[in-house]
Every structure is written in structure tokens, then in C-alpha cells.
Amino acid sequence: MEHEYPPLRDYGSIGNDDRCALVSRAGSIDWCCFPHLESPSVFARVLDADDGGHFTVSPVTDDYESSHRYADRTNVLQTIFETESGQVTVTDFMPIRNGNDATQRTDQIGSDSQHADDQHPQPQHAIYRRLECDRGSMACQVVFEPRLEYARVTPTFEAVRDGITARREGGEGADTGGTEDSDDEDDWLDQRHQPVHYVGDADLEIDHEEARATGTVSLEADDTCWVGVQYGGREPAQPESPSYQEWLDETKRYWREWIGGRDGAADSVPERWHEMVVRAELVLKLLIHHETGAIPAAATTSIPEKIGSDRTWDYRYNWIRDAKFTVQALHDTGHRQEARNYFDWFVGIATDHPTEIRPLYGLHGEHDDDLDERTLDHLAGYRDTGPVRVGNGAASQLQLDVHGTFVQAIYETVQFDEDAGLSEDSWDAVIESINYVCRNWDQPDAGIWEFREEHRHFLHSKLLCWVALDRGIALAEENDFDAPLERWRDTRDEVREAIETRGYSEAAGSFVQHFESDEAVDATALLIPIYEFLPPEDERVQSTIDTVLEKLATDDGLVVRFVDTDVREDEEEPFLLCSFWLIDALVLSNRLELATEYFESVLEYASPLGLYSEKVDPDSGRLLGNFPQAFSHLGLINSVSYLARAMDADGDVSPEDFHPENVETLFRRGNEDVVTD
């Protein structure tokens, strides 16, 4: 039987410390990796509708209507099914491992050890689903169909005391070297993928030929049924105390306390945007790795940027360039501990020698060989668009902007966080990075858009080299740090001259994508006033914004990344982060009414749950690219920060009373001293 691919806007995302899952509006868990977000998948129907694997709870009849919603201020997802006979709500969640919440109580489920010989799964390596009949009656089907290691392994099923165990043939931890699915090129796969267990109140019957287990549960009004999936351990476990319901209650409490526990920095958000900002915060928290503080670009791999194209990338890694946006968004929403954790993570990475710093890392700090890009040709890809990739070849690219990102993020953090000390080692790392910029700023690189076959003198890379020098000079001057300031100032002047003379095109009326072009328009030029390279009122800045509006933007403010470049064909699909950059630049330019109009318009392209992917089709509204996308939600938060700074107490814009110099850029030059260890 062939299955259809739901649109991305029909998916909700759930998760906990280091895991995410996508749940469709049809009640199917179509994407989940265990034990970590970047591990091989257990369910991957989003990448292969027929063979990827799934865990579905839905009405037996096909004649139903469904809708999604999140339990208020949580990442607990509720799917409501309605038929002629009744209504059932399916509540999906992953238990949270944090502080004193339910998942720390491991006495009934086993220890937190990840060793292969653990008897029971770790409690946070699970998804639980509550079926509750709200009215009438309904028969629901349950289908448990895991496929291990990106569906390379079809498991065998065994009925056990507390449920059903699906494991690789030969038992948990068995090597696949002897199976017909395996060859030497597949040694990189997790060859010790642990069993996956079904647990719950519904009895399932195993179909060994189809390698799945199915069952039906009939519910009357007020009836409740629990089902779930657990990863790891030799056998499943039914909890006695705490109960499933206690875990659900405490998981909800955790999310609400986290949102309520921020220190008030987001209180100035206009009421009409408050819900979207809260959802964006919850998305970021869902993605943040609880141990390292790292944040992946998205929860998925290989969702195409355009249906039918080969632009299918693995985004389950942390890009260093995200640091400056992430730190700012977390600070502006009052989540200072998460901002500090992230700061500590990337500072630890950046203390490597500058030549060793990579554009992206695994969530546990892996890089280079650990992130080698490979294709999974046995998977069809989302909507039959491949290839499906794991790993990311951009990890080995030369991207000079990472050094500006590093220095800018340090500069931002020490301004906002009075407890964020700049250690001697951290300052030494700043010096090393800036000295590296002095030696290499005039080299071509792959750029922010990570072009794989062309290295150019990209404007954004030069701009971030200037940022590294400018912020490094500010740190040294404001805090009397030792630094080769004369050399840094001279190089900063050289970079500025190059950008102004080679990066601006009179013919295009805009700063251009790279120095070799007079016509390639790129949305990254919108960052020039945001980084304070030039003031917003500069004629070249205003001309650049006008050119972006003419050539890159739709009528409702969606912005594509670039046009008229010789590096790659033009794109037709707007990149949501670029749309937020345009809004920010318009605010700084005192074009508040247009900025607000565009912001309200971009909000309309979110999914019904308030989630964004990387791109959007402006004609159909179809979300494109990996999902949910951190960059898009960061952009939303930062644009709200700009707009809120320009609004009055009632949340209205007042252009006649607006003074751009009073609206600080997010990446602003501050006057506070840096706290040193």
C-alpha cells in the first residue's frame, strides 16, 4: 500500500533533552531518532512513506476530521479526532529529564545508564501517548512499525511480558556485518542499535511477515488508554509509580515553569504577538541539547528546500554562525541560563586553534570525519525528493564568517550577562581568531550559503571579518586588554575599504553578493546596518533595502536569498530568516508601518501550530526545508525585539516620534565593562 506524504504544516514536534519527534495530524509519528536527535532513525516515514517506519494511533475509519494543538505553554501535543460517533484526543509527549521532574524517578523503570546490558530503557528515551474519549465512542487502531538505522534494518518482533520488543535479528547489539543489508560502506552506521519496545494498555498482534504489530482499542466517553514506545534496554517496562499520568502532569509543569521562569525580558512583546513568541521560545528549548547547550539548525535531515531539487541537507548539527542570533534571542526572551550554557559551549569550541574551528559541529562536539556526508539511496526522500543525506559536507568548508560570529557572540554575552566572565583563555582565543582574520580576510571562501563548488569573496564573509576586528578592538579598548590594536585597526580599515569599494555596485544600486559581481543581489546585505557597519540612513544602505524590496521580496515581505548571481541558479523559494532581516532593517530605517505589515504577513505562513521550516512557497504556503527550523524562530524573536523597541506602550508604531538612534541594533556596541575572571 502506498502512503501519501503529509505537508509539513500538518506536523507537530515533541521532544525532551536531546530528542525530537514529528507527529502528523493523522496521528502518525513519522520521524524520531534514538538515543539522540542526530542518531539513526527509528521512525522515518517522513523520508519514505512506504518503508521508513512509523507509530500510528488513529480512528479505524478513514472518515474523520483531525486538528492539532499544544497544551498551553508546553511542547505536549494534542491531536483531536472527530467522527460521526465521537471524539478522541491523543496526547503525545516525551518525558523531560530535568531537576526533580518525573523522569528522574528511575526506581521503577531502571537506571539512567546507557549500557547495552541495562534491563530497562532510560525513561527519557520514550514517547507516551494518551487516548482519551471526550464524547460518544470511537474505535482506534494502533500500528507499531519501527525500522532501525534509517530503515536499513527491518527488526524481528517478540511478545514479552510488558509489551512487544522489536530488535535486530540476532538480538540487541548484534552486528549487521553478516546481514544482506550490510556492506563495508555502511560501517559508519550505529552497529549496536538497541531494541525498541511497545508498551501500553492496547494489546497488539504481531504480523511477522509485515514486521509490525497492530491492534484496535474501543473507547467510550471518559475512557482512557495509554500506549508508548521505549528505546533501549533488554525489555520494556510498565510504570507503576510514577504513573503515565504523573509523568504527563510533570512534563507539562516543567514546560510551563520554564516559560514562566524567565526574568521578564519578553514582557514588552505586544499582546497580539505574544503567543507566537512563546511558541518560538518553546521550539528553541525543544532543540537545545541539555548537556552541552548546543542547538541544532533543525530536528530533521533531507527535507528538500524545493520539491524535486537535490538541495536536501542534514541539519541536525550546530552551526557556529547561529551563535550570535541564538545568544541574542535567548537573552531577549529572558532565558539567561540557556544563553550562558550555549555561550560556554561555543567558547569551548572556539578555544581551538583558528585553523581547527569548523562551521558546524555535532551536538556533542564532533566535527570533520564524524560528520562525513553520506547518502541513503534506499530511502525515497520526502515527497520522493532525494537524495537522503546524513552528515554534512559543509563541516570541512572554509567559512571565514565563523570568526566574526565567535567574537560577536562573546561581545554580546558579556554585555548582557554580568556573571559571564571572560577568562584569560577566552581572551587568548579572541586574539587568535582576530589575528587569523588579519592574515586571511582577503581569501575567497564558501560563504554563508555554503556553495559547494564555488569559492568567492562573499560580502557576508568580509562583513563578519570586519565585525571580528571591530568587536575585538572594542573589547580590548573598553577593558584595557592586551592586544595588537594597531594591526587590528589597520586591517579593519582595509576590510572596510574593500567592502565599500568592491562590495557596492552603482549598477545594482546595492551591496552585492560577492566582489566579483556588479549585479548579484543577496539578502545578507541587509545585515550591514544591523552590524553597524554603516548607519541605516546611509544612502547606500537605503538603496540596498530598496533593491532588496524590488528584486528579492514578494509583495507581502517574503525574501529569497539571492538573484542574478553566477554562482548558482536563482531561487524562487523565500528563506524565512531573510524575511526577518528585512523587517529588522526596515525598523532601523524608520519604515515602521511597512516593517509591521511585513511581520504580520510572515506570521501568516507559520503552521497552524506556530511552527516554521526553513523556506516557504509564497503561492501555495507550503513549508519547505528541514523542520522545525531554529533559524526561522530565532529570526521571529529578534524581529519582535526590534519592533517592540520602536513601539509605544500600547504596541502601536509611531513613526513621527521614532528616532532610529534610540533603537539599538541587536548586535550593538555597548559601553558596559567586561567582567574578567
Q: Hey, what domains does the chain have and what are their CATH numbers?
A: 8-259 (2.70.98), 519-670 (1.50.10.10)
State how far the Cα of 537 lies from the Cα of 522, in Å rounded to an integer: 20
- In sequence order, what are the beta bridge partners of 21? 14, 32
Query: For residue 266, which amino acid is it?
Result: A
Across 212-221, 270-279, 600-609, least confident range: 270-279
Q: 247-261, 333-347, 349-363, 599-613 — which one is most confidently predicted on average?
A: 599-613
Largest CA distance in the chain: 78
Contact present, 302 and 314 (Cβ < 8 Å): yes
State how far the Cα of 674 lies from the Cα of 161, in Å rounded to an integer: 60
Where are the strands (E) in 187-319, listed by range? 196-200, 205-207, 212-220, 224-231, 318-319
The answer to whether the Cα torsion of 229, 390, 341, 668 is positive or negative is: negative
Tell me the pLDDT of the chain averaged across its residues.
87
Cα angle 255, 79, 576 (rounded to 5 degrees) comes to: 70
Tell me if the pTM is above 0.85.
yes
CA dihedral 158, 164, 170, 172 (to 10 degrees): -160
Contact present, 635 and 284 (Cβ < 8 Å): no
| Sequence-separated (6 or more) residues with CB below 8 Å from residue 461 | 399, 400, 401, 445, 447, 448
Residue 357 DSSP code: -
Backbone phi, then psi, for 50, in 5-degree steps? -95, -40
State how far the Cα of 418 lies from the Cα of 333, in Å rounded to an integer: 17
Mean pLDDT of 544-560: 97
224-231 and 318-319 beta bridge pairing: unpaired
426 falls in which pLDDT band (50, 70, 90)? confident
**464-513: per-residue pLDDT in tens?**
999 999 999 999 998 889 999 999 999 999 999 999 999 999 999 999 99
HEC per residue, 101-137: CHHHCCCCCCCCCCCCCCCCCCCCCEEEEEEEEEEEE
| Sequence-separated (6 or more) residues with CB below 8 Å from residue 61 | 83, 139
**154-187: per-residue pLDDT in tens?**
999 999 988 999 998 854 443 333 333 444 445 5
At 291 the pLDDT is: 80
What residue has cell string 559551549?
345
Residue 528 above 80 pLDDT? Answer: yes
- C-alpha count within 13 angstroms, C-beta hemisphere, residue 103: 23
Contact present, 76 and 411 (Cβ < 8 Å): no
* Nearest alpha-carbon partner for 163 in 128, 202, 194: 202
**57-98: per-residue pLDDT in tens?**
999 999 999 999 999 999 999 999 999 999 999 999 999 855
State how far the Cα of 310 lies from the Cα of 303, in Å rounded to an integer: 10
- Percent of the chain whose pLDDT exceeds 90: 68
At 370 the pLDDT is: 75
